[in-house]
Amino acid sequence: MSNPGKSKQGTRRRERLDRGIKVRSEDIYALNSWREAIYLLAPRAFPVLALLALALLAPLYWQRVLVSATVFALLAISWDLAASSGMVCLGQALFFGVGAYLAGIMNHYFHLPPALTLPLATLGGGLICTLLLLPVLRLRGIYFAMVTLILPLMVERIIEATKIFGGTEGLSGLTPFPHPLVESFITMAALWVALFGLRRIMASDYGLVLKGINDNDRAVMSAALNIYRYKAQALFLAAATGAFAGAFMTHAYMFVGMPVFALDYSILPIASAAVGGLGTLAGPALGAFILVPLSEMLRGLGGLRIVIYAVLLVVFTVGLPEGVFHYLRRKYTQFERWTEVGK
C-alpha cells in the first residue's frame, strides 16, 4: 500500500474542514441571505430540473434511456433502503417481477387501466414480497442475501414448469401509456417521491432505528424495540418501490413475462449502489443514472460492450470505493488543506 503522506511530502497530512457556508446554512441564517438559501437548494433542485429539461428536450431514443435509467434508479433506492436497514438483498428482481406480474394480471384478466394497476400493484407487490420474506427476516448477512437471490430464480422456474400466467410466452398486448412524455413524468414523479420521501424517513428518529438495526441489531433489541416489526416495515417500503418499477415497465413494454425475474434486475441496482455510494439513497440513484446511459453509449461496440462495461465497473468500485455521491458531497461541503504533523 502506498503512503503519499510520508513518501513525498515529509510529515504532512491532508485535513478536511467544513466550509463556512455549509455551517451557516445549517442554521436559521439559511433564511437570511440568498447565497445560503441557494447553497442549500441547488443540490436538490438541480437534478430535478436537469432531468425535467432532458425529458423535454432530448431526442426520443434518449428519452427512453432516461425512463429506463429512472426505473433502475428506483430499484437501486429500494436496494439501498433495505441494505441500510440491515437487509442486504440480492433479489430486487423479486420485487420488480411481482409488481410486473401483478400489473400484468390485473390488466390482462380484469382489464383494469394503468391508473388503477400501478397503485394496486405497488401496494400489493409490497405486501406479497413482505409476506414471502417474513419467515426469513430472522436471517442476516449473507444468509438473507442467499435466500433473496434464490427466490426470484425459483418463481421464474415455477412459472415455466406450471405454465401459469402465460408460462414462457408471458402476457402480451397490455394497455400502453398514452404518450412517451406521460411515461417520463410518471417515472420522474415516482423517483422524486421515493427519493426525497425515503430520505426524509431515514433522517427521522424512525430512520435512526433502521440504521441502528444495520449497525448493531442486538443493541437495538436491548433498547426494547422489536426489530422484526421495523424490518418488516422497511422491507414493505423497499418492496413497494421495486414493485412500482416493475408495474411501470409492464405497461411501458405492453408485456410481462419470465425475464422480469432475470438476474439483471438484481445485479444492476447493486452495481449502481457500489458506484454511487451506499447508505444515502441518492448515491445509488446517481449510480443508476451513470450506469444505464453508459451501457447505452457502449451499445455501438457490439460484443466488446459488456467487457468495457465490466472493466469500468471495476475501475469505479476500486478507484472510488466510497462512491461518486459521497465524493461529490465531500467536495461540496468541505475544503481540504495540507497541514504539518508532529509540531
Instruction: Please report, as ranges, the residues that interact with another protein according to CB under 8 A.
Output: 83, 88, 135-136, 138-143, 146-147, 150-151, 153-154, 157-158, 160-161, 217-218, 221, 227, 267, 270-271, 273-274, 278, 302-304, 306-307, 310-311, 313-314, 317-318, 321
Residues 6+ apart with CB under 8 A from 251: 103, 107, 114, 117, 118, 174, 175, 176, 177
Nearest residue (CB) to another protein, 35 versus 163: 163
Dist CA 77 CA 70 (whole Å):
10
Min. distance of Cβ 201 from another protein in angstroms? Answer: 22
Give the single-character DSSP code of 90. S
Nearest residue (CB) to another protein, 188 versus 270: 270
Dist CA 101 CA 172 (whole Å):
11
Min. distance of Cβ 258 from another protein in angstroms? Answer: 12
CA distances from 296 to 213, 314, 330 (A): 38, 18, 29
Strand partners, 263: none
Nearest residue (CB) to another protein, 217 versus 296: 217
Min. distance of Cβ 224 from another protein in angstroms? Answer: 15
Nearest residue (CB) to another protein, 103 versus 258: 258
What cell numbers appear for 157 in the block?
422456474
Min. distance of Cβ 94 from another protein in angstroms? Answer: 13
Give the single-character DSSP code of 298. G
Min. distance of Cβ 158 from another protein in angstroms? Answer: 6
Nearest residue (CB) to another protein, 37 versus 147: 147
Min. distance of Cβ 55 from another protein in angstroms? Answer: 29
Min. distance of Cβ 9 from another protein in angstroms? Answer: 21
Nearest residue (CB) to another protein, 60 versus 168: 168
Dist CA 259 CA 145 (whole Å):
21
Nearest residue (CB) to another protein, 59 versus 302: 302
Nearest residue (CB) to another protein, 208 versus 307: 307
Dist CA 240 CA 238 (whole Å):
6
Residues 6+ apart with CB under 8 A from 17: 334, 335, 336, 337
- Residue with C-alpha cell 513525498? 8
Min. distance of Cβ 69 from another protein in angstroms? Answer: 19
DSSP codes joined into one string, 204-267:
SHHHHHHHHHHH-HHHHHHTT--HHHHHHHHHHHHHHHHHHHHHHHHHHHTEE-GGGGSTHHHH
Give the single-character DSSP code of 341. -
Strand partners, 336: 16
Q: In what helix (H) or strand (E) does residue 172 lie, and over which residues does it extend?
A: strand 171-172
